[in-house]
Amino acid sequence: MLARFAAIRVWTRGGERAPHKSLLLLYALAALQRREPRLIPFARLEEAVGKLLRDFGPSRSTSPAYPFWHLQSDGVWEIPQREALQHDLDIAEWRHNPRVSVIREAGAQGGLDAQLFKLLRARPDLVDQVAAQLLKTSFPPSIHEDILDAVGMPWVPVTPIASRDAAFRQTILRIYRHQCGVCGYDGQLGSTDLGIEAAHVMWHMAGGPDSEDNGVALCTLHHKAFDRGALGLDDNCRILVSEEVRGGQAVEEWLLRFAGSPLRPPLPGRPQPATRFVRWHRKEVFRAPARAPRL
């Protein structure tokens, strides 16, 4: 059963992120856990999954109609009105890029395959495993809990950590002097780091390597902000802050004031994040536009 979800085809082009199917399925799994009906009206999914795509997807606009329609070909999703919709979409030549208005006006509903739904309803442990698998393949661990909260799913008791070079964290923290590259925080508890993490610039699940030029040491707060797209880097490794970031004095102190500041450099002779990884992050993760640098 897990193999069916692992085999889901994900659209790819030049390293662009495509977490659309994962977000729709996570929303449907959360609804299943809440004992809601199998079939979900597209009107509801359009609003809910649209928000998930805005919050956790790439900055370019994508309609929830794409995963709603194309998941059918993966054998895990069903639309009872498929034949009628297919006829309308074929006539209008929208088969591969379904028009939202056609699906919306048909009052379409979609849901997990009936047999799959029945199995998952009887096996909550499998729901957790599927959710962990979807998170692992589409998002970095730093934002898994944010996504689970957003879809209304309880904590998943399966560690959804992608395999990676065990030395990556130690290397990145060492070359950045065990300090956050944004704020310089360097907390320790006894002889161990406290709240300092090794962040991938180009995400590991997107093909980013465990290399020195694809990593930066960040405190827990700035790691989360970086992976959510609140922070980014320009080609000269100056810090970008999204215009979408807002809040009170603490936000000013911990985020806004760093706009335009240089990323703290690694040890002499060690590379800063490579331009190609920085550009990937800016295109696929950062929530443009950036705020004007502080004077």
Residue 140 in contact with residue 215, Cβ under 8 Å?
no
Task: Determine the pLDDT at residue 160.
Answer: 46
Out of 91-100, 122-131, 204-213, 223-232, give the one with best mean pLDDT.
223-232
* C-alpha–C-alpha distance, residues 268 and 238, integer Å: 18
Cis peptide leading into residue 289 (ω within 30°): yes
Residue with the larger pLDDT of the pair 60 and 270: 270
How many helices (H) and strands (E) in the chain? 13, 9
Residues of the chain with pLDDT > 70: what percent? Answer: 90
Residue 198 in contact with residue 222, Cβ under 8 Å?
no
Q: Residue 235: pLDDT band by 50, 70, 90 thresholds? A: very high
Q: What is the mean pLDDT of residues 237-253?
A: 97
271, amino acid identity: P
Q: Locate the DSSP E strands across the chain.
A: 40-41, 77-78, 109-112, 188-189, 192-193, 196-200, 215-219, 231-233, 239-241
Task: Determine the pLDDT at residue 1.
Answer: 67
Give me the residue spans of the domains in the chain: 2-151, 167-284
Helix, strand and coil percent figures for the chain, each rounded to 5: 45, 10, 40
Smallest Cα–Cα separation from 43: which of 100, 89, 111, 92?
100
Task: Determine the pLDDT at residue 94.
Answer: 54
